[in-house]
Amino acid sequence: GRVRGQVSQMTAPTTMTAAVAHRYGPPEVLQLCSVRAPTPGSGEVRIRILASAVTASDIFIRSARVSPRLQVPFRLMMGVSRPRRPILGFVFSGVIDQAGPRTRRFAVGAEVYGATGFSLGAYAQFRCMPERDSRWRGCLAHKPRTVTHEGATAAAYGGLLAVQYVDRAAIHPGDHFLIYGASGTSGTMAVQYATSLGARVTAVCSTANLDLVRSLGASEVLDYTEVTEPPRGARYAVVLDCVGGLKTSPLKTACRSALAPGGRYVSIDDGRLGLSSARLDQIARLVDAGVVTPVLGATYPFEQLVEAHRFVEAGHKRGGVAVRIA
């Protein structure tokens, strides 16, 4: 419904706990601190964040470990010698507790989820977000009703990536579609979404996750720790790389060479992630209809954020890793 500048009846806190990184580096650069709580401006709402996540994007930003060709643009955008926005965190789920003037899309008390864009800030108890989509400040939508706030963070990150790049692949029913990195946050969503569109999905992952990706709808699985090439004669209409260029294997190279004539190779490194509330709404509908289910491999309390970053950085997670803020 249309809302004009509602404000929560609760006393607005003036401080909050946030995870702050004053330099790039290992997980230990993240420190929980008391900082000033934000106040929503015109066209903004404030979210009491209940869950965030540790994503590949968070690891890259915290460590500044990106490919050499991206180092200069990364530093210019995110901060040359240290993070320009010291409160990190890319995705969140929570409840709106304040709404500024000229707000119309969301009411106080609404459960929402979203991505913060390059302004970050999801590792905090409160975050102000604009109602309108912004490449810099992110996107916001009503949370899927059928998952927890922790699960919604996996839907936000994995869903935004999966839906954007599966749609870019322009699947036709019956297409043989290979997903490399099928057990991660975006890969698990991509397997389910591509299957729902009628694709015959081959999923690539490690031994420990073969049963998981089968359960999500993959008709064939390849273990990159055991095999170095796809089955003889296999030809794929689409190969979707859900891990990006920093991770490779002989099997990944061979799969790219196994494209059918006219086939398409799509990578999550290809262009920017589209921050779209319309896409978040689409993901929420898919989740609530049971078409896709976000996979959550682990949940950490806020006080163990450093441990969560260590775990994700080790590279062996399945699905998403959530952080319970409140």
Residue 12 token pair: 């607005």
Supply the angle between the helices 305-313 and 56-63 in degrees, to the nearest 10. 100
Q: CA 273: distance to chain centroid?
A: 10
Which residues in the chain belong to E strands, given as ranges?
Answer: 15-21, 30-36, 44-53, 91-99, 111-115, 126-130, 139-142, 176-180, 200-205, 220-223, 236-241, 259-267, 296-301, 320-324
78: DSSP letter? H
150 vs 52: CA distance, rounded Å: 7
Predicted TM-score (pTM) above 0.85: yes
Answer yes or no: are the C-beta atoms of 248 and 187 closer than 8 Å.
no
Q: What is the pLDDT of residues 216-270, one digit of tens each?
A: 999 999 999 999 999 999 999 999 999 887 688 999 999 999 999 999 999 988 7
Q: Show the low-confidence residues of the chain (pLDDT under 70).
A: 1-11, 246
Q: What's the Cα-to-Cα distance from 7 to each of 41, 90, 92, 274, rounded to whole Å?
A: 12, 25, 21, 30
Structure-token match 């390849």, residue found: 222
Q: What is the pLDDT of residue 71?
A: 76
pLDDT for position 11: 58
Round to whole Å and give the CA distance between 292 and 188. Answer: 9
Task: In whole angstroms, give the CA distance from residue 241 to residue 179.
Answer: 6
How far, in Å, CA of 88 to CA of 302, rounded? 13
Q: How far is Cα 77 from Cα 49, in angstroms, rounded to an integer?
A: 25
153's tokens = 């963070």
Structure tokens at 292: 């896709």
What Å distances lie between residue 230 and 203, 236, 253, CA to CA? Answer: 11, 10, 10
